[in-house]
């Protein structure tokens, strides 16, 4: 029997619509209406300004830690815009902009990074999951939720985010294997920002792309320019429609870049070449989209000014609400481990309480 090449059925595409020089491929332009385009820009700008505010707040000691988004705005906004409210969105830990679009109050997002567990509680009526810090641990939930939609006979879909580093985790593999076999209505978005803290993308896999991993799970894969909001939007929209129609999951690799540090506890100058960052600064998704909108006559200086004012107000209200909710009771450290506290801890708690009162560190009503 002669050796033969095996034909792989999986579809694997690459999509870019608005390139880094601002050139749009007219044949691929989804030609969205002005309001939709403007909303996209508003959300990308909101993400950028929220990110800057959170980074500043961390540096001022007003929140504990933070994982910046800078550079990845198009990936998350382009992806979630096509979801319905009843669809599910499962974040990793760098998707605050997408969460604002999904209806999360800004104050709640700040609470999480401020270290308050209230920041993990998903607001009523929003079909999202809280931030998942353990890398890729959210992936089985993406598949599970999508499977539940299928079992219930609903046409809702689930979209989940994971990083390039997350693709090396067992959870990623298990989630995609199961999703392929059971043909669940899921959209897996890899925000490939080229780095997993100090580990470059080339150390995550010997594959040329992350999108091609789809073939191993028997599902479709697509690589998109993650800094091109139109390309991300189109790819996500197609994947959402496909999932909704019962035609199974899709793996989307959004090629983007983390322009800032991994988190506020990291110094990327220790492990990456500043020239690489400079190269990616030129591919910043915001100015590129802004240029396109100006050419289309959807955006001008005055509109941008108005957006900046709105966003400033939104963020100020969020920060004020967060700071007002921030009355710290240090005794909470005893609160959440046991339902019935062991006697030795009970004694410690009482002693701690007395000490705090002695030092005047508790408000009268506490």
Ligand X SMILES: Cc1ncc(C[n+]2csc(CCOP(=O)(O)OP(=O)(O)O)c2C)c(N)n1
A 10 A CB-CB count for 290 gives 18
Catalytic amino acids? 258, 262, 271
CB of 221 to ligand X, least distance (A): 18
Chain-centroid distance, C-alpha 319: 20
Spatial distance between the Cα atoms of 270 and 68, rounded to a whole number of angstroms: 18
Q: Does 134 bind ligand X (CB under 6 A)?
A: yes
Binding mask 301-330 for ligand X (x = CB under 6 A): ------------------------------
Beta-bridge partner residues of 224:
15, 254
Parallel, antiparallel, or unpaired for β 199-200 and 195-196? antiparallel
Residue 324 exposure: Cα atoms within 13 Å on the Cβ side: 7
157-196 residues near ligand X, rule: CB under 6 A: 163-166, 193, 195-196
Q: Does 95 bind Mg ion (CB under 5 A)?
A: no
205-234 residues near ligand X, rule: CB under 6 A: none
Q: Does 355 bind ligand X (CB under 6 A)?
A: no
Q: Smaller CB distance to ligand X: residue 40 or 67? A: 67
CB of 311 to Mg ion, least distance (A): 26
Beta-bridge partner residues of 183:
none
Q: Decide which of Mg ion, ligand X, none touches 87; Cβ closer than 5 to 8 Å per partner kind.
A: none
Q: Smaller CB distance to ligand X: residue 85 or 279? A: 279
Q: Does 258 bind ligand X (CB under 6 A)?
A: yes
Q: Which of 196, 232, 293, 315 binds Mg ion (CB under 5 A)?
A: 196
Helix 139-151 to helix 170-182 angle, to the nearest 10 degrees? 20
CB of 195 to Mg ion, least distance (A): 5
CB of 136 to Mg ion, least distance (A): 11
- Residue written as tokens 């992350």? 210
Tokens in use for 79?
A: 């992806």
CB 189 within 8 A of CB 79: yes
Spatial distance between the Cα atoms of 364 and 92, rounded to a whole number of angstroms: 40
Beta-bridge partner residues of 191:
163, 254
Interacting residues toward Mg ion by CB under 5 A: 163-165, 193, 196
Q: Residue numbers of the site for ligand X (CB under 6 A)?
A: 94, 133-135, 163-166, 193, 195-197, 258, 262
């Amino acid at each position: 029997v002669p050796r033969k090449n095996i034909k792989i059925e999986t579809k694997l595409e690459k999509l870019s619509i608005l390139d880094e020089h601002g050139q749009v491929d007219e044949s691929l332009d989804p030609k969205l209406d002005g309001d939709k385009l403007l909303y996209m820009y508003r959300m990308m700008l909101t993400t950028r300004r929220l990110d800057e505010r959170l980074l500043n707040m961390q540096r001022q000691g007003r929140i504990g830690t933070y994982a910046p988004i800078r550079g990845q705005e198009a990936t998350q906004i382009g992806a979630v815009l096509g979801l319905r409210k009843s669809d599910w969105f499962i974040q990793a830990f760098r998707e605050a902009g997408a969460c604002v679009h999904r209806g999360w109050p800004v104050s709640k997002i700040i609470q999480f990074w401020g270290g308050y567990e209230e920041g993990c509680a998903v607001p009523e009526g929003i079909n999202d999951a809280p931030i998942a810090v353990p890398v890729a641990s959210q992936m089985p939930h993406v598949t599970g939720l999508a499977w539940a939609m299928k079992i219930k006979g609903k046409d809702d879909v689930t979209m989940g985010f994971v990083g390039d580093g997350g693709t090396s985790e067992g959870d990623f593999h298990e989630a995609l294997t199961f999703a392929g076999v059971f043909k669940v209505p899921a959209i897996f978005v890899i925000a490939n920002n080229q780095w997993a803290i100090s580990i470059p993308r080339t150390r995550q896999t010997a594959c040329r792309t992350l999108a091609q991993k789809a073939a191993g799970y028997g599902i479709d894969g697509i690589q998109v320019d993650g800094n091109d909001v139109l390309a991300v939007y189109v790819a996500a929209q197609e994947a959402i429609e496909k999932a909704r129609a019962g035609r199974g999951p899709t793996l989307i690799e959004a090629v983007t870049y983390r322009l800032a540090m991994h988190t506020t506890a990291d110094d990327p100058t220790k492990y990456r070449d500043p020239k690489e960052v400079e190269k990616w600064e030129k591919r910043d998704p915001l100015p590129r989209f802004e240029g396109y909108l100006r050419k289309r006559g959807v955006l001008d200086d005055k509109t941008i000014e108005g957006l900046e004012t709105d966003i400033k107000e939104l963020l100020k209200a969020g920060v004020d609400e967060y700071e007002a909710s921030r009355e710290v009771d240090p005794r909470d450290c005893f609160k959440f481990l046991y339902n019935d506290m062991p006697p030795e801890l009970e004694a410690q708690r009482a002693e701690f309480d007395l000490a705090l009162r002695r030092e005047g560190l508790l408000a009268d009503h506490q």
